[in-house]
Amino acid sequence: MNARATTSAQDVRQNLSYGPVALVTGASDGIGRAFAHDLARRGYDVVLVARRIEILENLAADIRARHQVAVDIIPADLGKADEVERVLRELERFDLGLFVAAAGFGTSGAFTEQPLAPELDMIDVNCRAVVAMTHVLARRLVVRKRGGIVLLSSLVAFQGVPLAANYAATKAFIQSLVEGLRPELKIHGVDIIACAPGPVASGFGKRANMVMGKAESPDVVARETIDKLGRKSVVRPGRLAKLLEAAFTGMPRWGRVRIMTLVMKGMARGAENHA
């Protein structure tokens, strides 16, 4: 048995409530990486999924050294259906109590000027893989009658967003999915929450070719989300997300779209950077 890092009484109760092992996809960078550290700090053993094996290995070593928990890695590209199926098979050997689906990416620029392939890949990663993994893992948690699930929504999920139309649509899908699943799963003792941050200081902006400007720390996003799991259906972590949402309160969708048009004109730099 691995020694556990020191945690607060609340963290320990949460750990015992959900189970001993947490799964984090998209763990190699940004929000996923922050979730991996936060959950390990709370005492969870963690299973990390991402594409880049070298980064995963380095992250696993860092987490073991800092938090004294068990860490397993599963390198995989969740944009490929067969890779998702392989990951799910490998996960059968773990007593998972918590699932954080942080893998995802975006693009920016006029939809008709983007190459089609990245837009379809985004749907596969942001939506298809999330549904496939949530379906299988939620069934396992329902049988256990306990567990937690975190899916990544976004501030852009609540209205259409010009110059990021497809990305915003994938996040609207996730937001709606969580809202529908929460009452279904709650009766079985399984909690689910949508994490809907605003701009976050991570690798997302570079890949989406966006200028992020003011951005929240991934650590704040992870910490506030896990703290609210089981208490709310959606969390807007960080002061920036809360401020932006407050500014939108009571505004019709067309008005929100108009404001997001102005915001994206200052953020979007064009097509996805494939470098």
Residue 164 gets which letter from DSSP? S
3-class SS of residue 127: helix
100 forms bridges with which residues in the sheet?
A: 24, 150
Distance between CA 206 and CA 41 in Å, rounded?
28
The Cα–Cα gap between 32 and 152 comes to 10
Compute the distance between CA of residue 262 and CA of residue 244 in angstroms, rounded to an integer.
14
Give, to the nearest 10 degrees, the angle between helix 116-123 and helix 165-186.
10
Residues designated catalytic: 167
Torsion of CA 88, 118, 101, 127, to 10 degrees: -80
Distances (CA, A) of 253 to 160, 169, 194, 262: 8, 14, 20, 14
Question: Between the CA of residue 119 and those of 122, 167, 170, what are the distances in Å?
Answer: 5, 8, 10
